[in-house]
Amino acid sequence: MSRKNKIIYVSILAFNCLFSLILLIFNVSNNTTSLKTTFLFISILIGLAVLLFVKTESEETIIEESNDEETEKIITEKTKNEFVDWIAFISVVVSVFLIITSFFFFSARVDGTSMEPTIKENKHVYIFTFGYTAKKEDVVVYKRTSDLIIKRVAAVEGDKLSIKEEDSMMYLYINDQLYTNHYGEKYQLRLNDELRKTINSNNNNYVLKKYEVILLGDNESRSSDSRSFGVLSTKRIIGRALGDYSGKE
């Protein structure tokens, strides 16, 4: 491998490492565990690359000073250098892959039926994470304690929440409109639900503040969501699920 190629490989690894560090410092992505792993792994790759390149550089110098009788040794060293070239190439590919999967998107398997029939249990979904801002009707992945949950954004900053009674049941209203999902299901608020307590404590007129969001599952009767969790923070949204989840067949 030429000195120029060595510099290029190490530079790419160093750039990826610096890029991951900057995003980690400024908390661009909520997927911080993956970011830290990526930063550590790429740092290790840089260290290994530098060691390998320094070693092969010294070996190449020795080869250049050798006489014609050491042809066999030269062939061996060339084979070794080709191996190092492949290691360097694979290291760069792996580092780029880690950057993409850590900062831009990742895949996950849905465990549970809270989003059925829109998203079936055990289905794999791809989540876009980079610089995401919550928008109504998006299906998002949210980090709650140590678990990730997938729900739909029902209300965002500035939306007004209220409760109205119908047939002895209390239902969620957003901006004075009865909230229903894509399948016509209404969202009941039970007596001990945190969201019901929050709305009632604000004279049945709670306006979502900055960074506040309401997340609900498409399967109204089988979903644990903002009704029981209460108002959630957009800062803990990992990203948006890629695909058409409008609920239309």
Annotated catalytic residue: which of 6, 95, 151, 223?
151
Here the tokens at position 243 are 């695909």
The answer to whether 151 is a known catalytic residue is yes
| Under 8 Å between Cβ of 240 and 199 | no
CB neighbour class for 67 (10 Å; exposed up to 12, middle 13-18, buried from 19): exposed
Distance separating alpha carbons of residues 52 and 13, to the nearest angstrom: 14
- For 27-48, the three-class secondary structure string (H helix, E strand, C coil) is CCCCCHHHHHHHHHHHHHHHHH
Annotated catalytic residue: which of 29, 114, 162, 226?
114
Distance separating alpha carbons of residues 201 and 186, to the nearest angstrom: 22
| Under 8 Å between Cβ of 183 and 245 | no
Distance separating alpha carbons of residues 61 and 192, to the nearest angstrom: 76
The answer to whether 143 is a known catalytic residue is no
Active-site residue list: 114, 151
